[in-house]
Structure formats: C-alpha cells, structure tokens
Amino acid sequence: MNSSISKILKKLQVHYPQTQCFLKYQTPFQLVCAVILSAQCTDERVNRTTPLLFKNFPTPEKMARAPIKAIETLIHSTGFYRHKAKNILECSKIIHHTYHGQIPSTLEELVRLPGVGRKTANVILGEIYKKSEGIVVDTHVARLSQRLQLTQSSTAEKIEQDLMGILPQSEWIAFSHRLIQHGRNLCIARKPRCNICFLQSQCPSAFLEKNKSN
C-alpha cells in the first residue's frame, strides 16, 4: 500500500470513525429486502418504505406467502416495483424453503438469489457476517474512486477488482461505508466541495469540476 492510499485511509478513519450501513433493518432477512429495494433508489427512500413492508411481512415465511400485488403496492415508491416485488417474493421463497429462514453466508450462494448481485452480496456478507470477500461499489464509491484515481475503470466489477488490489482486506468493509459518507457530505456528484475537503491534497481531481464550469 503506497503512502498516498495510506493517507487517504487515515483521513477517512479520522473524519468518519463510525461506519455503518445506511439502510435500516432489524433482522438479516430485512436487510436482504432493503438492499434489493435500494437498486436505483436512495437509501432514504428505502428507509421510508420498509417499515410498513416489514410490519406486514416481517419474515421470509410471511413474505413468501404474500400476494405479489400487496408487495408491489408497499414498495411502489422505490421504482421498478414490479421487478423488485418479484425478486423479493422469489428470494423469500428460497430463503424459507431452501435455507430454512437463514440467510446464506457465502458469496456463491447469495448471488444465486433473485435480485442479489455481487454488490448486494458484499453488503450482506459485510453487514451480517462481517466477512470481507469484496468491496461494495455503489455510485458514490465508483465516483470517488475515479476522482481519487484509485481506478481508471468504469464498471463496478472492474472498480472493485482494482480497489481490492490496492487496499488491505481489513479495510474493505469500512472503506465503502466511509467513501459513501464522504460522497454524500462533500464529494457530491455535480458540485464537489473541494474547498473544504480534507482529501484535497491527495485528490488529483480537486477543483477540476469548478474549473470546468468557469
């Protein structure tokens, strides 16, 4: 790990000492549903949607028996609700019947669940089982990794592989949480707040967005 990456990690640790998933849940199954809903939707919107969903169908067994129209109605505001409802229903059936209500603990098993891709699986493994088998690459992580020139790749899969190659595995889970937090607080998509960013001395892209607009 080179000195620049080490400085980035240390500054992120100082400014974001507490790392946590932004999705609200009470059980591992609820987290699975929440991350499925988070596709192309904000965590805030998901967190406003899931309380009523989980009140009606709190377990894999009850969700597996739910009418799909009821699920669609409850998750309508998250977008792509028909597709997501189908995935949640089928995923719940598999968890209930195949895994007896328990969430699979391996990447290979998780990515076979409907609606669960590699990013979702990494969230579940890191949050529930504290396993660092990969790095969660959402839009924030992708954008900031590119701005910090930690990767030249454009796809989530390649970005993840690049990050895994330069970051210690012990930092994989926390790094994603901290970068997401930083992307929401300072390094926002359209107008990054470079003037008050604590990473500006490590960031090759600092002030570039402002210069482009002038």
Nearest CA-CA partner of 28 in 145, 134, 126: 126
Which residues, including other chains, have CB under 8 Å from residue 74's CB and lie 6 or more apart?
Answer: 49, 52, 53, 56
* Structure confidence at residue 214 (pLDDT): 43
Nearest CA-CA partner of 154 in 165, 173, 139: 139
pLDDT exceeds 70 at position 25: yes
118-141 pLDDT, tens digit each = 999 999 999 999 999 999 999 999
Average pLDDT rounded to a whole number, residues 140-155: 96
Record the tokens describing residue 2, joined without a space: 């080179």
pLDDT exceeds 80 at position 54: yes
Can you tell me which residue has the tokens 């790095």?
A: 135
- The domain 28-128 is classified under which CATH number: 3.30.70.1450, 3.40.50.970, 1.10.340.30, 3.10.450.50? 1.10.340.30
User: pLDDT band at 26, cuts 50/70/90?
Assistant: very high
pLDDT exceeds 90 at position 28: yes
Distance of CA 182 to the CA centre of its chain: 14
- Positive or negative: CA dihedral 174, 180, 183, 189: positive
Pinpoint the alpha helices (H) of the chain. 3-15, 28-37, 43-56, 60-64, 68-75, 81-97, 107-110, 118-128, 139-147, 156-166, 172-185, 208-213
To the question of pTM greater than 0.85 for the whole model, the response is yes
Query: Which residues are the active-site residues?
Result: 119, 138
Domain-by-domain residue ranges, the chain? 3-17+136-213, 28-128
Three-state SS for 137? coil
- Which CATH number does 3-17+136-213 carry? 1.10.1670.10
pLDDT exceeds 80 at position 157: yes
- Positive or negative: CA dihedral 72, 127, 174, 13: positive
* Structure confidence at residue 211 (pLDDT): 54
User: pLDDT band at 188, cuts 50/70/90?
Assistant: very high
CA distances from 187 to 7, 38, 96, 149, 181 (A): 17, 21, 41, 14, 9
Nearest CA-CA partner of 34 in 88, 99, 109: 88
Question: Percent of the chain, pLDDT > 70?
Answer: 97
* Structure confidence at residue 209 (pLDDT): 65
